[in-house]
Amino acid sequence: MSHTSTAGTLLRGLFDDASLFPPAGLPMSEAVDGHVRHREAWYSYLTGPFVCPETRLTQLRSALTAAGLAEIDLSLIVTAGAQAVADSLDAVATDPRLRLRSVEVPTRLDATAGQDLATDLAARAVAEVVAALDAVPLAGAAGYIEIPLTARGDDILRPIEEHRYRAKLRTGGQAAAAFPDEPALAAALVELADRRIPFKCTAGLHHAVRQAAADTGFEHHGFLNLLLAVAAAADGASAEDVASVLAGPDGDEVAAGIAGLDPLDADRVRALFISVGTCSTDEPVADLVALGLISEPG
């Protein structure tokens, strides 16, 4: 592999393989084959665990057998929520090939509820997930709690912080409304950085730099913009300044900012910003090569 030392620190294990999920939505066998390809490629150091919902564990086991794989690093999404955590982990434990690295559990909110009610519901939902994760043996796996970007505050974040879990933020989706604007995302990043709560982001982060998708016109955040925004938030920047970093559309400027971070800054950023769930690893790799931040050896 070839990269600058800072870029290597910032990018190592950044991309959780969520190729089972939209918009890729690959069949299980193709997703597992793709994961193996990424793990064996020159950029393998970029690839994190394979993301799979509890509802498809049987398919995953069959695909592992067909591919002759002895093991796979797994990030398990418990789509059914807190009440399904224990049974889902029991299902993983029956197969030693499934090396559990993290458990991701969504909270459930009524999108039509008023802000005060939504905050109260989010706090209760977070408490339920915390209790469910506390009740199972994670054995070193990280626990992620997906929270709405706008549902923050002490009642929601303090339990995550005190129980040493991580937050999960959704940064895109299948509709324009699923993509948070820069002020909303910046406010969340600043609050998480202030509390030193580690987090991952998922959805919509297919490319390195902020841009509008050619097919939908949706404004997508860039994962490199996010890394720089977290660096700014960790340094105590205001939400307005962090939002400005998120909005930067110039690839050369963003790449220069990444290359300009020192190793200590890179360590601090990745201690907070753990990973990106992406349905494509090829697109991020192509962007990073084009920006000169990584290159294939030889």
List, for residues 21-37, the tens digit of each pLDDT value: 998 999 999 999 999 99
| Mean confidence (pLDDT) of the chain | 93
User: 20: closest CA among 64, 60, 52?
Assistant: 52
Phi, psi of 198 (to 5 degrees): -65, 155
Domain coordinates of the chain in residue numbers? 2-290
Phi, psi of 194 (to 5 degrees): -60, -40
Q: How far apart are CA 131 and CA 165, in angstroms?
A: 11
Indicate the range of 38-42, 103-107, 112-116, 160-164 predicted with least confidence: 112-116
Question: pTM of the full predicted structure?
Answer: 0.94
Q: Report residue 3's pLDDT band, with 50, 70 and 90 as the boundaries.
A: low
Check pLDDT > 50 for residue 100: yes
Tokens 């699923």: give the residue. 178
Q: What is the mean pLDDT of residues 64-84?
A: 97
66 contacts: CB under 8 Å, gap ≥ 6: 29
Query: Which has more pLDDT, 89 or 152?
Result: 89
Check pLDDT > 80 for residue 116: no
Check pLDDT > 90 for residue 118: no
Percent of the chain scoring above 70 in pLDDT: 95
Q: CATH says 2-290 is which class?
A: alpha beta
Indicate the range of 1-5, 9-13, 137-141, 183-187 predicted with least confidence: 1-5
Residue 4: per-residue pLDDT:
56
For residue 59, give both structure tokens: 């398919």
